Each structure stands twice: as structure tokens, then as C-alpha cells.
């Protein structure tokens, strides 16, 4: 399946929350210990920008220099949709001025969502259903996290990432592995009543809250992710040293460190930007890809292994060969 | 495989606690909170070379005895 990235746009939460800010809000938090394990020194929140608005900001960046009338597919990956329905993709179609014949729908997944959506788009383009897809990931978790939530508050950030693709040899999906274990679904959930858009715009309070059983989610990660990555590598007769860049969902430092040790990934092959952005949920992998593209670190022939995991609980691994620089 | 003493030392290091014994638990060790427990799981995963991956019961094992019992049940603890 061939699906190349032609452009990437990112919109970050406008409010920077530093460790010092967290410390002021929670004087009893041992920020040094938390930072040592989470790896996050700043988070980005968007108290008055909804998932839709962040998505629009990210997509507008790349559509400014593209023929938006050619966009025939729009997937929005989000687990923090502004409304139960309609989904972000439908509202975004109108906001961006895309044609009404666009194939538009939401993917209600979190940290595995980008890889799931990318594989789905690969299949849709291979089948000839779409030719010029736009994928937007957008999540605004911070407004749903209690200020005294020691596990979640230090790590999550708000962001959106938009990617325009074309079905050419610039990037080829060589192999993939996906999975779902709904038995652990309630270990990572957002529960309650969604806020009204006008409440969000006014920075009002929410009646939703994020629940994460950190230990269970960590055990899920340690159980499923290495096995999924090994399955793909083994099928392709590859070793970790053959991969140019491992791009994992930037969950937290403790997770990335354990995955690196478990899979014996060379230090320079595991891409990290957690310190800069925090855990932006569905956006972590596309933001990593943008960093690699902007840093001109992708070479023709590079092998990239993407792996997202989390909400669902679900996971998705994807092996990509770079044909040309985006 | 780990010895009981190695597991206790690992928990002590993970929690950065002054003293850990077989009777230690989240109820009597202040450092044994949710983040501390994540540290324990992370270090056990490293020490067993990924051997705890399927031991989902460890997520709720908030005492030394419970951890030892689970490791023993999967032959990860030397007798």
C-alpha cells in the first residue's frame, strides 16, 4: 500500500504549563520524581480551543498551499470530539470548505488512532476509493484531567496534527499488525457528559473526567506492544538495527525506556520528543513524523516502524519504507 | 529467575524507600503510591527481561507478599 505524506500541519495548545505551574497548583507533588519517570517538563493545554478548532488550525496550515478541491477523503482521529454527534470530520468539512462529496468520518481512537487511520487510508487508496486524503488527529485531554491527578496531569497535552497524502511510492506500507483488547477498555476512559461548544469557548468547567489505571495500562503496553513489533520484524526478517527510526506513541518516559530495553532498540533509533510536547494522544506519532521531516532525517530507503497503543485498549504497528523525501 | 531478596531490593530501589520488608505494602509505605507502583512494574519488567508481560495481576499487587506470590506462580521466583 503506497501512501506518501505531502505536507504536515501541527496546532499546539496555546497555554504552556510548566513543572513550576504544576507545583504551584499541587504543592505536595514531587515534580522531580514525576518528571524523572514521565519525561515531560512542559505541557500544552488549550482551555478555550476545542478539538474541532485545533483541527481546523492544523489543517488550514497545509491547505493554504494545496488544492483543497482535490481532497476527496477526510478522516478525523479523536477521542475528545466536541459533540457526541456530529463528528469532528463532518464539522471540519464545512469549516475547511471542502467539497461535499468528500468521504468523511471520525475514528474514535486515541493513541493508536493515527496508525489505524493511516493503514485504513492505505487500503482505501489501494482500492481506488480515494486519491487525495486528509487525515487530522486532534485531542484536548487536559480540560478533562483533575488538577490533582498525579498520574495524568503531568503528561498530557493538547494538539492537532493534519496530514495530506498522495498515493505514490514516496512511502510504502510494507507490513502491519493491529489488535484490540476491549476487556481493558475501562482502564482508560473519558466518562461523563461532553461540554457544549460554547462552554468550551468560555473556558467553562466540564462534567467529564479522564480515568486511567496507570498500572493496568502499563502492563497492557508491556504485554502487547513488544509482541506486535516483534511479529512485524520477524515476518520481514528484520532486526531492530535495520529500522531507521522507531516511532512509538510518546506515552511517557517510563514506557519508552521499557520498550527500548525490551526490544533492544539502539538509542539513536528510538525517536523521542516527549520533553517538548508531552503526550498529545493521537497526535504524538504525526508530530514525531513532522519533526523527522523538518529535520531532514528521512532518507530514501529508510525503514520506519510506527506503533501506537492505548485507548481501547488497542494497538497498531506499521512498517513503512520511505521512497523519497516528503 | 529472581530471589526473594532481589525482589525486595528492587522494590526498595523503585520506591526510593528507606526500608522494605516482606510485610511492606502500599498501606504502610508512603512512597508506594501509583507512580511508585509503576516504577516497581517497570523495574520488574527489566529485571525479568520482559518476563512479567502477561502477569496482569501485578497491576493490583500492592504488597511485597502479593508480588512474590505472583512471581512464584509463574516460576519467576527462586525458592
Looking at residue A207, what is its pLDDT? 73
Q: Which domains, ranges and CATH numbers included, belong to chain B?
A: 4-73 (1.10.1200.10)
Nearest to A184 by CA among A157, A153, A221: A221
Please answer yes or no on whether A216 and B56 come within 8 Å at the CB atom: yes
Please answer yes or no on whether B35 and A262 come within 8 Å at the CB atom: no
Which cell is A27 given?
504543592
The domain ranges of chain A are 4-168, 174-183+212-322
For residue A3, the SS3 value is coil
Tell whether A213 is within 8 A of chain B (Cβ). Answer: yes
Give pLDDT tens digits for A107-135.
999 999 999 999 999 999 999 999 999 99
Q: Is the CATH number 3.40.47.10 carried by domain A174-183+212-322? A: yes
Nearest to A284 by CA among A1, A39, A34, A35: A39
Looking at residue A204, what is its pLDDT? 62
Sign of CA dihedral A76, A79, A80, A86: positive
Please answer yes or no on whether A37 and B52 come within 8 Å at the CB atom: no
Nearest to A286 by CA among A67, A7, A51: A7
Q: Which of B38, B42, B54 lies closest to A223 in CB terms?
A: B54
Looking at residue A95, what is its pLDDT? 97
Please answer yes or no on whether B50 and A257 come within 8 Å at the CB atom: no
Tell whether A15 is within 8 A of chain B (Cβ). Answer: no
Q: Is the CATH number 3.40.47.10 carried by domain A4-168? A: yes
Nearest to B22 by CA among B67, B70, B78: B67
Looking at residue A206, what is its pLDDT? 65
Tell whether A34 is within 8 A of chain B (Cβ). Answer: yes
Please answer yes or no on whether B50 and A222 come within 8 Å at the CB atom: yes
Distance CA A231, CA A225 (A): 10
CB A141 within 8 A of CB A49: no
Residue A245, beta-bridge partner list: A304
> Can you say how many angstroms the Cα of residue B4 is from the centroid of all Cα atoms in its chain?
10
Give pLDDT tens digits for A198-244.
776 776 666 788 899 999 999 999 999 999 999 999 999 999 999 99
Cα angle A96, A102, A104; round to 5: 85
- Chain B CB contacts of A262 under 8 Å are 45-46, 49-50
Task: At A232, give phi and psi (nearest 5°).
Answer: -65, -45
Please answer yes or no on whether A254 and B59 come within 8 Å at the CB atom: no
Distance CA A35, CA A149 (A): 14
- The whole-angstrom distance between B60's CA and the closest CA on chain A is 7
Which cell is A82 given?
466536541
Task: Please tell me what DSSP assigns to residue A241.
Answer: G
ipTM for this model: 0.91
Tell whether A261 is within 8 A of chain B (Cβ). Answer: yes
> Which residues make Cβ contacts (< 8 Å) with residue A42, sequence separation at least 6?
A16, A17, A18, A19, A275, A276, A278
Predicted structure pTM score: 0.93
Q: Are strands A103-107 and A73-77 parallel, antiparallel or unpaired?
A: parallel
Distance CA A6, CA A325 (A): 9
Cα angle A126, A131, A135; round to 5: 95
Q: Which of B34, B42, B60 lies closest to A258 in CB terms?
A: B42
Nearest CA in chain B to A183: B56
Nearest CA in chain B to A218: B38
Sign of CA dihedral A306, A187, A147, A81: positive
Looking at residue A112, what is its pLDDT? 98
Task: At A64, give phi and psi (nearest 5°).
Answer: -60, -30
Please tell me if the domain spanning A4-168 has the same topology as the one spanning A174-183+212-322: yes
Looking at residue B78, what is its pLDDT? 87
Looking at residue A151, what is its pLDDT? 78
User: Residue B47's CB: how many other CB atoms inside 10 A?
Assistant: 15
* Residues of chain A predicted below pLDDT 50: none
Tell whether B71 is within 8 A of chain A (Cβ). Answer: no
Q: Give the helix ranges, DSSP H, for A26-65.
A: 31-38, 51-63
> Which residues make Cβ contacts (< 8 Å) with residue A221, sequence separation at least 6?
A251, A255, A258, A259, A309
Give pLDDT tens digits for B4-36.
999 999 999 999 999 999 999 999 999 998 889
Distance CA A263, CA A274 (A): 19
- Chain B CB contacts of A257 under 8 Å are 42
Mean pLDDT of B39-58: 93
Count CA within 13 A, CB hemisphere, residue A23: 11
Q: Which residue has the higher pLDDT, A148 or B75?
A: B75
Nearest CA in chain B to A212: B34
- DSSP H or E stretch at residue B9: helix B4-15
Amino acid at each position: 500500500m503506497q501512501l506518501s505524506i505531502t505536507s504536515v500541519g501541527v496546532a499546539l495548545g496555546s497555554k504552556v504549563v510548566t513543572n513550576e505551574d504544576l507545583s504551584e497548583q499541587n504543592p505536595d507533588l514531587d515534580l522531580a520524581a514525576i518528571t524523572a519517570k514521565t519525561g515531560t517538563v512542559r505541557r500544552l493545554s488549550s482551555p478555550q480551543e476545542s478539538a474541532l478548532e485545533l483541527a481546523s488550525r492544523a489543517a488550514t496550515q497545509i491547505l493554504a498551499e494545496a488544492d483543497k478541491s482535490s481532497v476527496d477523503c477526510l478522516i478525523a482521529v479523536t477521542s475528545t470530539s466536541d459533540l457526541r454527534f456530529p463528528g469532528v470530520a463532518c464539522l471540519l468539512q464545512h469549516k475547511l470548505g471542502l467539497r461535499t462529496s468528500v468521504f468523511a468520518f471520525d475514528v474514535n481512537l486515541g493513541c493508536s488512532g493515527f496508525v489505524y487511520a493511516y493503514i485504513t487510508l492505505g487500503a482505501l487508496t489501494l482500492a481506488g476509493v480515494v486519491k487525495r486524503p486528509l487525515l487530522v488527529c486532534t485531542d484536548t485531554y487536559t480540560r478533562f484531567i483533575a488538577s490533582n491527578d498525579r498520574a495524568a496531569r503531568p503528561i498530557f497535552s493538547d494538539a492537532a496534527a493534519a496530514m495530506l497524502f498522495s498515493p505514490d511510492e514516496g512511502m510504502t506500507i510494507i507490513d502491519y499488525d493491529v489488535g484490540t483488547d476491549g476487556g481493558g477498555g475501562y482502564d482508560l476512559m473519558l466518562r461523563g457528559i461532553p461540554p457544549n461548544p460554547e462552554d468550551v469557548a468560555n473556558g467553562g468547567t466540564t462534567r467529564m473526567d479522564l480515568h486511567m489505571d496507570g498500572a493496568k495500562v502499563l502492563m497492557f503496553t508491556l504485554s502487547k506492544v513488544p509482541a506486535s513489533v516483534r511479529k512485524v520484524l520477524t515476518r520481514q526478517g528484520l532486526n531492530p538495527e535495520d529500522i531507521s527510526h522507531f516511532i512509538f506513541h510518546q506515552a511517557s518516559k517510563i514506557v519508552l525506556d521499557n520498550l527500548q530495553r525490551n526490544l533492544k532498540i539502539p538509542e539513536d533509533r528510538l525517536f523521542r520528543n516527549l520533553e517538548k510536547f508531552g503526550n498529545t494522544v493521537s497526535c504524538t506519532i504525526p508530530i514525531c513524523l513532522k519533526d523527522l521531516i523538518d529535520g531532514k532525517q528521512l532518507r530514501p530507503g529508510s525503514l520506519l516502524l510506527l506503533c501506537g497503543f492505548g485507548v481501547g485498549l488497542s494497538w497498531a504497528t506499521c512498517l513503512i519504507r520511505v521512497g523519497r523525501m516528503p | 529467575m529472581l530471589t526473594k531478596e532481589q525482589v525486595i531490593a528492587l522494590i526498595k530501589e523503585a520506591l526510593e524507600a528507606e526500608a522494605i520488608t516482606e510485610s511492606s505494602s502500599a498501606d504502610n509505605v508512603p512512597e508506594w503510591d501509583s507512580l511508585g507502583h509503576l516504577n516497581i512494574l517497570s523495574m520488574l519488567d527489566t529485571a525479568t527481561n520482559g518476563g512479567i508481560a502477561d502477569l496482569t495481576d501485578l497491576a493490583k499487587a500492592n504488597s511485597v507478599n502479593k508480588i512474590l506470590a505472583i512471581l512464584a506462580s509463574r516460576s519467576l521466583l527462586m525458592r
